């Protein structure tokens, strides 16, 4: 079976004041379905950039990107948006919850784009909040939660539409050790129990050890470190 994520010769440059800043040079990478891949590398090496390309929130300058069976480099903005909402769940370092919405409402947000009844939405939201262990915090606002709890809400939001792929950009970067452990355990569960393919950028060696595969990115080039 073909890899769920296929990156072929992907290059990405940014333009600053008509000056080209090359970030990724010809990356080629396959991620199999059900893999939990960790991406490490020094700051500025292009980890976030690569993750954003895979997740379809940025576009490559050249190369081919096939994710979940779709050639996403060819999609227009609205098709790409639709594709994202169906195929990818996002977990960020700073959680990026909407502060005026409760945990419940934050998780419900992606479902508003699907044609679901209120009752169906409720079922899904309560289900994922229970998976992340926050069934008793559903009417709390983000500022009433700890960092670890906020990140769990964010994870619930990422999985509520049941996407095949989760991308996480330093999901434990802003957390204390214990909370980080909890988040990593949760992500491991999502990978094993719920068969999510995960691509995670991290600076943390402990985090990387949870992954089934580790890749290093340095100045825009990949080097594999084999499987854990």
Partner 1 sequence: MKVLKLIFKNSLRHKLRTSLTILGIAIAVIAFGLLRTVVTIWDSSVDAAGADRLITRQSVSFIFPLPLAYKTKIEAVPGVKAVCSAAWFGGTYIDKSNFFARQAADDNVFDVYPELLLTPKDFDTYKKTRNGCIVGASIAEQFKFKMGDIIVLDGDIFPGRWEFVVCGIYQPKNKNTDGTQMFFHYDYLNEKIKQTSPGRGDQAFWYIVQINDPNKSAQISEQIDAIFKNSTAETKTETERAFTQGFVAASGAIISAMNFMSYAIIGIIMLVLANTMIMSARERTREYAVFKTLGFSALHLTGLILGESMVISCVGGGIGLALLYPIVAGFEQVMPKGFFPFFFIEPITAILAVSSAVLIGFLAAVFPIQRALSTKIVDGFRFVG
Ligand X SMILES: Nc1ncnc2c1ncn2[C@@H]1O[C@H](COP(=O)(O)OP(=O)(O)OP(=O)(O)O)[C@@H](O)[C@H]1O
Binding site for Mg ion (CB under 5 A): 48
State which residue has the least CB distance to Mg ion: 48
Burial class (CB in 10 A: 0-12, 13-18, 19+), 26: middle
Distance CA 5, CA 50 (A): 12
# residues near partner 1 by CB under 8 A: 22
# residues near ligand X by CB under 6 A: 12
Cβ atoms of 180 and 172 within 8 Å: the answer is: yes
State which residue has the least CB distance to ligand X: 48
By CB under 6 A, name the one of 7, 31, 48, 160 that touches ligand X: 48
SS3 16: strand
Contacts of 68 (CB under 8 A, 6+ apart): 4, 5, 83, 87, 88, 164, 165
By CB under 6 A, name the one of 40, 47, 89, 132 that touches ligand X: 47
Return left, alpha or beta for 177; rule: phi > 0 is left, psi -120 to 50 is alpha, else beta: alpha
Contacts of 209 (CB under 8 A, 6+ apart): 228
108 binds, among partner 1, Mg ion, ligand X, none (CB under 5 to 8 A by kind): partner 1
Contacts of 58 (CB under 8 A, 6+ apart): 12, 49, 52
Distance CA 128, CA 189 (A): 13
- Answer yes or no whether residue 163 interacts with partner 1 by CB under 8 A: no
Residue 3 or 81: the one with the smaller Cβ distance to partner 1 is 81
Residue 17 or 78: the one with the smaller Cβ distance to ligand X is 17
Least distance from partner 1 to the Cβ atom of residue 48, Å: 8
Distance CA 85, CA 74 (A): 17
Name the segment binding ligand X (CB under 6 A); options: 16-24, 27-35, 112-120, 206-214. Answer: 16-24
Burial class (CB in 10 A: 0-12, 13-18, 19+), 103: buried
- Answer yes or no whether residue 221 interacts with partner 1 by CB under 8 A: no
Least distance from partner 1 to the Cβ atom of residue 159, Å: 13
Residues 80-119 that bind partner 1 (CB under 8 A): 81-82, 84-85, 90, 92, 96, 98-101, 105, 108-110, 112-113
Residues that bind ligand X (CB under 6 A): 14, 16, 21, 23, 41, 43-49
Residues that bind partner 1 (CB under 8 A): 52, 57-58, 78, 81-82, 84-85, 90, 92, 96, 98-101, 105, 108-110, 112-113, 157
């Amino acid at each position: 079976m073909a890899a769920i994520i296929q990156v072929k010769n992907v290059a990405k440059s940014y333009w600053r004041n008509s000056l080209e800043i090359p970030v990724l040079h010809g990356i080629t990478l396959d991620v199999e379905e059900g893999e939990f891949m960790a991406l490490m590398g020094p700051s500025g090496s292009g980890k976030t950039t690569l993750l954003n390309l895979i997740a379809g929130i940025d576009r490559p300058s050249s190369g081919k990107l096939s994710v979940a069976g779709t050639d996403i480099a060819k999609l227009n903005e609205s098709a790409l948006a639709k594709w994202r909402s169906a195929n990818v769940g996002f977990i960020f370092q700073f959680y990026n919850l909407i502060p005026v919405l409760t945990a419940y409402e934050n998780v419900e947000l992606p479902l508003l784009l699907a044609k679901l009844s209120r009752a169906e939405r409720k079922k899904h939201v309560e289900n994922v909040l229970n998976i992340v262990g926050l069934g008793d915090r559903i009417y709390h606002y983000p500022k009433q939660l700890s960092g670890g709890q906020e990140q769990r809400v964010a994870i619930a939001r990422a999985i509520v539409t049941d996407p095949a792929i989760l991308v996480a950009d330093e999901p434990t970067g802003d957390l204390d050790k214990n909370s980080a452990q909890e988040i990593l355990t949760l992500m491991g569960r999502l990978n094993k129990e719920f068969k999510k393919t995960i691509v995670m950028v991290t600076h943390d060696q402990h985090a990387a050890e949870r992954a089934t595969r580790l890749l290093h990115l340095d100045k825009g080039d990949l080097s594999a470190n084999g499987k854990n």
